[in-house]
Amino acid sequence: MTDTLQAGPRPRLNRARVLEAAVALADEIGIESLSMRRLAQELRVVPMALYKHVANKEELLDGMVDVIVGEIDPPAADADWKSGVRSRILSARHTLQRHPWARRAIETRTAMTPRVLDYMDSFIGVFLAGGLSLDLTHHAMHALGGRMWGFTQELFEDPAAPAPAVTDAERGEMLRQAAQRYPNVVAIATSVTHDEGSVVGHGCDDQFEFEFALDLLLDGFERLHVRDWTSRGAKAAR
Amino acid sequence: MTDTLQAGPRPRLNRARVLEAAVALADEIGIESLSMRRLAQELRVVPMALYKHVANKEELLDGMVDVIVGEIDPPAADADWKSGVRSRILSARHTLQRHPWARRAIETRTAMTPRVLDYMDSFIGVFLAGGLSLDLTHHAMHALGGRMWGFTQELFEDPAAPAPAVTDAERGEMLRQAAQRYPNVVAIATSVTHDEGSVVGHGCDDQFEFEFALDLLLDGFERLHVRDWTSRGAKAAR
DNA sequence: TCGATAGGAGTACAGTGTACGCCTCGTGGT
DNA sequence: ACCACGAGGCGTACACTGTACTCCTATCGA
């Protein structure tokens, strides 16, 4: 009876409620004003209560991007890979634009949460289903970089492998599980490492990937340029 | 004589020295550990002394990116625009890689410092000197986005014009001065706004620019894909 | 020689993330 | 029906952040 006197019975906290409230609050007051204290106040709870559901603020932010990545529409069953990729990216962009802070948050976060891996896996799947080679798909993912997210960033870029001390057996088990959930991601990763060394995570030349995307764009500019130039010339000639 | 007992006479502070020290310190301990107090300690000075040369931490960070942008090599007098742009971008990337924190710092900063404008202006100049139209150059700048900086970001994206209260006369004067220092930037900006509305800063469709760059990449993938496919077919046929 | 002044020193305050200990319920085993 | 237990919320405390405000002092032009 006592708590009915309050503005509401305040249902018990849980991780999902914390994360959703954080997302909503960030939408409202901006990510830079989002503090643990402010969030706690919003949930009508003492600040330290949050730490029962979130290890620290870093993990809170990780969880927040996880939530919004989960909001991205699943890939529509498009006719060809190109329009499939295109519509997915634009859908991601649309989702991200609803949360202005999300772009910056994703950039600073490097955690590979399950939903992020899901997203990437289905993304890669569209390419592979379209018949593109593992290699080309790999480069394409790099070139798209953050455009996958509806904006731009350099993905995979920090090879500071989290690699938390695990035995080889555990590592093998994790890999098998990952291969089940994220078959495409694993396919790309392993195909890359086969070429070069044996260390997972390396064997992917950052500089090459950068120049690959750069030259794709430059070639595109050039094509548009000469087309423009010739059409102008044709117009002048007739 | 008293100060000769110290590790050094400690030359007087000035803005440049503060900025340089900040850059060096960020290189050493990381941007997230760089605090005003830590920086002051490094300069053997009381924290508040810094505020005589920098309005606040925000401005300190602005100054830091200004410093590193200034480190980028000037554009080499290349034969064609394409290799000119290419080498400039790779040079920028090289510079940025020497300061791991710079990438993230530039992303969060939106201030258009003189050196940034200088950089962009000379960049645009390479395109225009190569004969590209104002329009294509404009789109190209967008498409390259942060790749101009040796990484990736969405530039121009926040049209929240700083527009600090100025009279029309002042505004006109500023524009004339800007046109002298940054002729190419102004050329692009004005050519865009001519098309659509009269408000400076708008008239540049974000969505269009995004899809422009996206389609450039997708077309590139497709070309590589069919080339791969046909060569594979040819090999199988012979 | 003198006084204006730029620049450094000192103190103080609000706000941040979070470590640690306590207390209070709802719940499951006996 | 009891009771212990543990999840989850509370309170306090600490180190650290940016920076506002006041005072002091060394420097330099007249």
Q: Which helix (H) or strand (E) holds A188?
A: helix A183-195
What pLDDT sits at residue A202? 41
Dihedral-angle region of residue A136 (phi above 0 means left; psi in -120 to 50 means alpha; beta otherwise)? alpha
Across B175-190, average pLDDT: 77
User: CB within 8 A of A232, min separation 6: which ones?
Assistant: none
What pLDDT sits at residue B120? 85
Query: Inter-axis angle of helices A57-71 and A15-29, to 10 degrees?
Result: 80
CATH number at residue B128: 1.10.357
Question: Is residue A91 domain-resident?
Answer: yes
Question: Is residue A229 domain-resident?
Answer: no
Residues of chain B above pLDDT 90, percent: 29
* ipTM score: 0.81
B227 Cβ under 8 Å from any chain A Cβ: no
What pLDDT sits at residue A151? 56
- Report whether pLDDT(B155) > 50: no
- The boundaries of the domain holding residue A129 are 55-204
Most confident of A143-147, B17-21, B165-169, B199-203: B17-21
In this prediction, residue B14 has a pLDDT band, given cuts at 50, 70 and 90, of very high
Question: Is residue A104 domain-resident?
Answer: yes
The chain A residue lying nearest B84, using CA atoms, is A218
User: CB within 8 A of B231, min separation 6: which ones?
Assistant: none
What is the number of domains present in chain A?
1
Give contacts of A147 with chain B, Cβ < 8 Å. Answer: 210, 213-214, 217
B219 Cβ under 8 Å from any chain A Cβ: yes
What pLDDT sits at residue B156? 37
Q: Which residues of the protein are close to the nucleic strand C, CB under 7 angstroms?
A: A 33-38, 47-48, 51, 56-58; B 12-14, 45-49, 52-53
Q: Which residues of the protein are close to the nucleic strand D, CB under 7 angstroms?
A: A 12-14, 45-49, 52-53; B 34-38, 47-48, 51, 56-58
- Report whether pLDDT(B169) > 90: no
Question: Is residue A90 domain-resident?
Answer: yes
Whole-number Å distance between alpha carbons of B102 and B92: 11
DSSP structural state of residue B7: S
Average pLDDT, chain B: 79
- Report whether pLDDT(B152) > 50: no
Task: Report which of residues A51 and B112 the model is more confident about.
Answer: A51
pLDDT averaged over 10-residue windows placed end to end, chain A, 238 residues:
46 92 97 97 96 96 94 83 89 89 83 82 88 87 70 41 46 72 77 50 65 84 86 67
- Report whether pLDDT(B151) > 70: no
Whole-number Å distance between alpha carbons of A81 and A207: 27
Question: Is residue A49 domain-resident?
Answer: no
Question: Is residue A135 domain-resident?
Answer: yes
User: What dihedral angle (degrees, nearest 10) is formed by the CA atoms of B153, B61, B184, A151?
Assistant: 10
Half-sphere exposure of A23 (CA within 13 A, CB side): 20
- Write out pLDDT tens, residues A91-102: 888 888 899 999
Question: Is residue B140 domain-resident?
Answer: yes
Question: Is residue A27 domain-resident?
Answer: no
Query: How far, in Å, is the CA of B48 from the C1' of nucleotide D21?
Result: 11
